[in-house]
Amino acid sequence: MTRAALLVAHVSQLGNIEHAQRVAQGLMAAGFIVRVLEPEAARLAIPGADPVRDAGGTEMVIALGGDGTLLRAAELALPHEVPLLGVNLGRVGFLAEAEAEHLDEVVRRVAACEYDVDERLTVDAIVLDEQGREVARNWALNEVSVEKAASRRMVEVVVRIDGEPVSQWGCDGVLCATPTGSTAYAFSAGGPVVWPEVSALLLVPVSAHALFNRPLVVAPESMIEVELLGNAPATIAFDGRRVVQAADRGRVLMRRGAHSVRVVRLRQRTFTGRLVAKFGLDVDGWRGRSS
């Protein structure tokens, strides 16, 4: 049986290219066909690698870089339901499963099929204009953000859940995040950390001028609606990567995604341990551990 893996790398740094070449050599030695994206093939310069445009027919997508690289790789993995493995070559790399110093172990575990696969919830969104006509449709692994497009003007929005109005905010934006995205933009905006096993969506206002401006945890089956009242231009971004212009007095409808992203787990490390390690949490407290 032919085994193939797609490598997706952040090729702007020489060190990342060297790491990708090392992984490719290890996989090829284990009998894999190594594939790379056509725009990255020349920079990676991996002898024998097949340039491709998507992840079709691959056993795994391996992302080498930071969380941005992993989100880019997720766009390739999701349509083909291919498991995604992240190797952190950036700073935090919260979504990654392994660090650069573990490359040989990564290759060995992948070749031996010694890994588990988690299903990560996504969020789907439909962008409508003032007449209710569809303008765009897309998805996100971390979050969908509805944000002001002009730095000096807040957007005025009405938020509804399952058709019922919840609040009206003048704000910099509104985020609809998944548990995976709860440690990303939503966390920076004051949202709670949600364990990946929790099936829920987060609604997080960004710098909202309102008496009630707290983040909400919403059932994934619920429909979250953000209506723009047309006082200022706004944009809708999917994982901060794919951006569309919002229509004046348009709406954004968001709910649980129809498809999950399959994330590879090499170790039995708990989310709690990952949270403490990645954020450098002081578990002893500033006064030290009590006796």
Domain span at residue 228 reads: 123-256
Of 147, 112, 136, whose CA–CA distance to 237 is shortest? 147
* Same-domain status, 115 and 149: no
CATH of the domain at 63: 3.40.50.10330
pLDDT digits (tens, 9 = 90+) for 111-155: 999 999 999 999 999 999 999 999 999 999 999 999 999 888 999
129 is catalytic: no
**Any domain includes 269:** yes
Q: Is residue 148 part of a domain?
A: yes
Total domains present in the chain? 2
Residues 116, 128, single domain; the answer is no
- The answer to whether residues 244 and 270 belong to one domain is no
Same domain, 116 and 139: no
The Cβ-side half-sphere exposure at 61, using a 13 Å CA radius, reads: 31
The CATH number of whichever domain residue 171 belongs to comes to 2.60.200.30
Catalytic residue among 54, 67, 172, 248: 67
Q: Express each pLDDT in 1-28 by its tens digit.
A: 789 999 999 888 788 899 999 999 999 9
The model's pLDDT over 190-204, given as tens digits with 9 standing for 90+, comes to 999 999 999 999 999
Are residues 108 and 194 part of one domain?
no
Question: Same domain, yes or no, for 173 and 236?
Answer: yes
Q: What is the pLDDT of residue 271?
A: 83
Tell me, yes or no, whether 155 and 99 share the same domain.
Answer: no
Neighbouring C-beta atoms of residue 95, cutoff 10 Å: 28
